[in-house]
Amino acid sequence: MPPAHAYAELVHRHGRLYRIRHAMAMLAWDRATLMPPGGVGARAAAEAELQLLARELRADPLVGEWLDAAAGEPLGDWEAANLREMRRDWLDARAVPARVVERRVIATASCELGWRRQRPANDWRAYLPAFREVVAICREEAGHLGDALGCSRYDALLQRFEPGINAARVAATFDELVSWLPALIATARSRGDTLPPLGTVAVDVQRQLARTLAARLGFDFDHGRLDESAHPFTGGVAEDVRITTRFSEEALLQGINSTIHETGHARYVAGLPPAWREQPVGAARSFGVHESQSLGLEMQLARTPAFCELLSSLLIDAVGERPAFAADALYARMTRVQPGAIRVHADEPSYPLHVIARFRIERALIEGDIAAADVPAMWDEQMARLLDLDTRGNHRDGCLQDIHWSKGAFGYFPSYTLGAIYAAQLFAALKSELGELDGCIRSGGFESIFAWLGARVWAQGSRFETDELLRRATGSALDAAPYRAHLLARYGHQA
What is the SS3 assignment for 403?
Answer: coil
From the number of C-beta atoms within 10 Å of its C-beta (0-12, 13-18, 19+), residue 205 rates as middle
End-to-end, the C-alpha distance of the chain in Å comes to 71
Which residue blocks in 272-391 are alpha helix, DSSP H? 287-295, 305-319, 327-334, 351-367, 375-387
305: Cβ–Cβ under 8 A, 6 or more apart, which residues?
A: 327, 328, 331, 438
32/45 Cα distance (integer angstroms): 16
Q: Which of 85, 133, 262, 278 is catalytic?
A: 262
295/417 Cα distance (integer angstroms): 9
H or E element that contains 105: helix 98-118
228/323 Cα distance (integer angstroms): 29
| 26-64 core/surface letters (b: 16 or more CB in 10 A; e: else) | ebbbebbbeeeeeebeebbebbbeebeebbeebbeeebe
| 374-413 core/surface letters (b: 16 or more CB in 10 A; e: else) | ebbebbbebbeebbebebeebbbbbbbbbbebbbbbbbbb
158/395 Cα distance (integer angstroms): 26
In the annotation, is 73 catalytic? no
Is 174:356 a contact under the CB 8 Å cutoff? yes
Active site residues: 262
